[in-house]
């Protein structure tokens, strides 16, 4: 507005007026300030945004007015019953105001100020109004940059890189978010992990009014009687509150709603008040709405209740009890969110002099979900320990336990492990699988592997191993195989730790090493119980491996797991345990190695033509000797991740298995007899029809299930 001194002469001449005043809406204030005033005086003039002045009324209503005679009380009453002309300015300057044209300066539906023309020579006309509106629009652009305003209420979040432009746009275009402001805040806080204070700062910057959070110690509901019922206030997301001095404040989710402000202003029948912006959930809390009785409550509300702010670590807080309602609901909310997100693990990670991080492993990838104030970390850990029947007084050594909770009537079991760190106790919770077995046809095995696997497990005796690292889906695969074999003529026993997946027709046993009931002891007990098929959860030691071999050699089909990287490596690992090579090679019928890789989101994946480097990678990793199996037709089409609302803007949704199935053959048995190394075993298995994890992954890339990047991660290659 530095150019106003030059511009004012043009405006005075063009509009044929005696004075031009520009009132700017003061940031964080509910008034207007005339910083640029023509005439003899240069003093600043502040007027409230209320009907107590012409400029204040125009700012309140956000509508332009032409006042033919400001001293005509009846004419002012016709515009608004409480509209007054503040004539003290005339008296102070020995000036007479004859007529007024007053126009709001608005940008992006937000009031930034008011421009006022005084004393037109012949009186203001519609042509003057039209010209004034055009000028106000131009000034709106200039005011926006001077005041630091933004085009949209949440643009500051993008500027501060708290959320991407793409994610924000997708969120705002969601049809459910458009109709529910509360849902928008929940997604920003819960899914995008943006603190309420940061959202409030962005809203304050846009609407140019203060941001007020729910703080019952500082603010109370305004007690003055008015004609606004609670349902009206809830519907419009507005509440009348007051501070310790009982000064009324209109707290709104959308302070640019001029008509709503006018309605409330008339109902209040007061001359002075402020306007502030608040989150929908906070406004509803002031109105007495809580989430008791409908689950643990939304994460943002719980964190607000226990006082989560960016400055928590710098302040002193009294230690919160582990049975405090907010802590109980917070832990419950974390567990419910993990199940809703289909997370496999929950990590409660303490940080020195910083908020505790809550992370969840979804589709094999750890993601930050929320933060808990550092002052409440111990209470959260204690609550989890109580639920898992652990010793809350012992914080020096790791502890293991289990807890259970109900979600939609279904019992969900969680394995809990606490580990002391230099920053405090950390907790990792594994959500155990629930429900029945996956059908074997849904395992996404290649046609060759599926045919081979069914032939292997239909044998009356022998040992079949499923191998891979923790979290690679071994238990899911074993139960899929049992589901295929589970017929009335088969007696099936399982020993598991823990029993995660249940199936009708199976006799499932939970081992308990603490009382000496180990996998080996369970297996020996099964042999006295007339089994046809035995599942041993894991071959953890030499004793269990020996017992499994003996059981398979005495006419039983034994299924088990092992933590090894590949099928050929499994053979050498077991022989290193001290197993007899002859007995093992005779007993083993097959080894299935597997991994889980992320699959492309079906909603947003896009196709493209494979580059020369990608084709070279495929040929190199699959092997030139067998590349003909892929029947590649040029040009080769691949798929890539993009990101959309459906997948959380990461491009991947869900996981699938890649498999490596080794079947025992006479040639392979001969190599085992002679203690051959892993490379020799792998070469023979390949000649016998085994395709590696990498080769199976490449097939899934070509079928559009996943992309090259996931296969490179799988093999650790470029």
CB 706 within 8 A of CB 656: yes
* 65 alpha carbon, distance to own chain's centre: 47
- DSSP letter at 636 equals P
Q: How many CA atoms lie within 13 A of 498 on its CB side?
A: 15
User: Strand locations in 195-283, DSSP E?
Assistant: 220-221, 238-242, 248-252, 274-277
Higher pLDDT pick, 193 / 524: 524
Higher pLDDT pick, 512 / 9: 512
d(CA 319, CA 342): 32
Q: Is residue 332 scored above 90 in pLDDT?
A: no
Q: Please tell us whether the domain made up of 299-431 is placed in CATH 3.10.20.880.
A: no
Q: Is residue 198 scored above 90 in pLDDT?
A: no
Task: Read off the pLDDT of each residue in 276-285 and give the average, rounded to a whole number.
Answer: 86
Q: Is residue 701 very low, low, confident or very high in pLDDT (cuts 50, 70, 90)? A: very high
Q: Is residue 37 scored above 50 in pLDDT?
A: no
pLDDT score of 409:
62
CATH of 4-147, one of 3.30.390.50, 3.30.470.20, 3.30.1490.20, 3.30.450.40: 3.30.450.40
Higher pLDDT pick, 174 / 606: 606
CB 363 within 8 A of CB 436: no
Q: Is residue 639 scored above 60 in pLDDT?
A: yes
Higher pLDDT pick, 127 / 48: 127
Task: Read off the pLDDT of each residue in 122-129 and give the average, rounded to a whole number.
Answer: 90
CATH of 574-718, one of 3.40.50.300, 1.10.150.120, 1.10.3720.10, 3.30.460.10: 3.40.50.300
Average of per-residue pLDDT values in the chain: 82
372, containing H or E segment: strand 365-372
String of DSSP letters for 510-549? E-BGGGTB-HHHHHHHHHTS--SEEEES---SHHHHHHHH
Label the pairing between strands 17-25 and 345-351. Answer: unpaired
- DSSP letter at 444 equals -
Q: What pTM does this model have?
A: 0.55
Fold: same for 4-147 and 299-431: yes
CA-based angle 171:177:178, to the nearest 5?
105
Helices (H) and strands (E) in the chain, counts: 27, 25
Q: Is residue 205 scored above 90 in pLDDT?
A: no
pLDDT score of 579:
87
Q: Is residue 593 scored above 60 in pLDDT?
A: yes
Higher pLDDT pick, 176 / 632: 632
Tell me: the pLDDT tens digits for 256-274? Answer: 787 788 788 777 766 677 8
Phi first, then psi: give them for residue 225, nearest 5 degrees.
Answer: -70, 135
Label the pairing between strands 492-496 and 506-510. Answer: parallel
Enumerate the domain spans of the chain. Answer: 4-147, 155-286, 299-431, 574-718
Tell me: the pLDDT tens digits for 432-451? Answer: 876 667 888 888 899 999 99
Task: Write down the residue that tokens 């989430």 correspond to.
Answer: 291
Task: Write down the residue that tokens 């297996």 correspond to.
Answer: 523
* 198 alpha carbon, distance to own chain's centre: 16
Task: Read off the pLDDT of each residue in 302-308 and give the average, rounded to a whole number.
Answer: 52
pLDDT score of 102:
94
pLDDT score of 281:
82
Q: Which residues pair with residue 592 across a beta bridge? A: 466, 661
Q: Is residue 321 very low, low, confident or very high in pLDDT (cuts 50, 70, 90)? A: low
Q: Is residue 346 scored above 90 in pLDDT?
A: yes
634-637 long-range Cβ contacts below 8 angstroms, 24+ apart: 635/609, 635/610, 636/609, 636/610, 636/702, 637/607, 637/608, 637/609, 637/610, 637/704
pLDDT score of 324:
58
């Amino acid at each position: 507005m530095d150019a106003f001194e030059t511009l004012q002469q043009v405006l005075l001449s063009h509009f044929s007026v005696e004075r031009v005043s520009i009132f700017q809406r003061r940031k964080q204030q509910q008034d207007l300030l005339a910083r640029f005033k023509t005439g003899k005086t240069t003093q600043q003039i502040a007027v409230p945004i209320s009907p107590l002045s012409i400029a204040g009324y125009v700012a309140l209503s956000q509508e332009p007015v032409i006042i033919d005679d400001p001293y005509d009380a009846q004419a002012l009453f016709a515009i608004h019953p409480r509209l007054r002309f503040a004539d003290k300015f005339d008296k102070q300057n020995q000036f007479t105001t004859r007529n007024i044209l007053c126009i709001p300066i608005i940008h992006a539906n937000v009031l930034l100020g008011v421009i006022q023309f005084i004393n037109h020579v012949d009186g203001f006309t519609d042509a003057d109004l039209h010209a004034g509106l055009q000028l106000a629009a131009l000034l709106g652009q200039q005011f926006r940059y001077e005041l630091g305003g933004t085009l949209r209420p949440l643009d500051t979040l993008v500027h501060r890189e708290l959320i991407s432009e793409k994610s924000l746009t997708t969120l705002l275009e969601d049809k459910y978010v458009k109709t529910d402001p509360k849902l928008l805040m929940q997604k920003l806080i819960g899914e995008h992990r943006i603190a309420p204070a940061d959202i409030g700062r962005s809203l304050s910057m846009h609407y140019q009014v203060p941001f007020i959070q729910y703080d019952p110690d500082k603010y109370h509901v305004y007690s003055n009687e008015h004609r606004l019922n609670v349902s009206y206030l809830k519907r419009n997301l507005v509440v009348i509150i007051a501070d310790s001095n009982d000064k009324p404040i209109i707290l709104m989710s959308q302070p640019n709603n001029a008509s709503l402000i006018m309605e409330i202003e008339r109902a209040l029948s007061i001359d002075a008040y402020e306007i502030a912006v608040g989150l929908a959930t906070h406004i509803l809390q002031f109105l007495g709405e809580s989430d008791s009785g409908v689950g643990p409550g939304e994460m943002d509300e719980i964190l607000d209740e226990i006082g989560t702010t960016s400055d928590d670590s710098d302040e002193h807080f009294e230690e919160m009890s582990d049975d405090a309602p907010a802590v109980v609901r917070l832990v419950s909310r974390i567990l419910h969110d993990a199940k809703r997100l289909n997370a496999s693990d929950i990590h409660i990670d303490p940080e020195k002099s910083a908020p505790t991080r809550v992370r969840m492993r979804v589709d094999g990838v750890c993601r930050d979900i929320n933060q808990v104030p550092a002052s409440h970390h111990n209470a959260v850990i204690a609550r989890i320990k109580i639920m898992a029947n652990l010793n809350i007084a012992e914080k020096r050594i790791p502890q293991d336990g289990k807890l259970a909770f109900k979600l939609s009537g279904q019992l969900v079991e969680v394995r809990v492990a606490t580990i002391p760190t230099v920053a405090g106790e950390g907790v990792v919770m594994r959500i155990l699988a629930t429900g029945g077995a996956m059908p074997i046809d849904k395992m996404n095995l290649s046609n060759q592997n599926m045919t081979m696997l069914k032939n292997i497990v239909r044998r009356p005796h022998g040992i079949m191993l499923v191998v891979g690292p923790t979290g690679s889906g071994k238990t899911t695969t074993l139960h899929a195989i049992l589901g295929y074999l589970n017929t009335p003529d088969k007696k099936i026993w399982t020993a598991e730790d823990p029993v995660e997946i249940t199936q009708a027709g199976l006799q499932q046993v939970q081992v308990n090493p603490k009382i000496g009931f180990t996998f080996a002891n369970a297996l020996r007990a099964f042999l006295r119980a007339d089994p046809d098929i035995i599942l041993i959860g894991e071959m953890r030691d030499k004793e269990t491996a020996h017992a499994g071999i003996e059981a398979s050699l005495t006419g039983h089909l034994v299924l088990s797991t092992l933590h090894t990287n590949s099928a050929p490596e499994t053979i050498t690992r077991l022989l290193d345990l001290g197993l007899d090579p002859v007995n093992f090679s005779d007993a083993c019928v097959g080894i299935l190695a597997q991994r889980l890789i992320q699959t492309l989101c079906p909603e947003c994946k896009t196709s493209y033509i494979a580059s020369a480097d990608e084709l070279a990678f495929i040929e190199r990793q699959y092997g030139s000797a067998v590349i003909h199996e892929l029947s590649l037709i040029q040009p080769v089409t691949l798929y890539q991740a993009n990101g959309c609302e459906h997948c959380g803007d990461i491009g991947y949704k869900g996981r699938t298995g890649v498999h490596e199935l080794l079947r025992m053959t006479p040639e392979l048995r001969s190599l085992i007899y002679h203690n051959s190394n892993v490379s020799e075993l792998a070469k023979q298995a390949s000649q016998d029809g085994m395709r590696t994890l990498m080769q199976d992954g490449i097939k899934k890339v070509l079928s559009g299930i996943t992309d090259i990047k996931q296969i490179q991660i799988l093999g650790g290659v470029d």
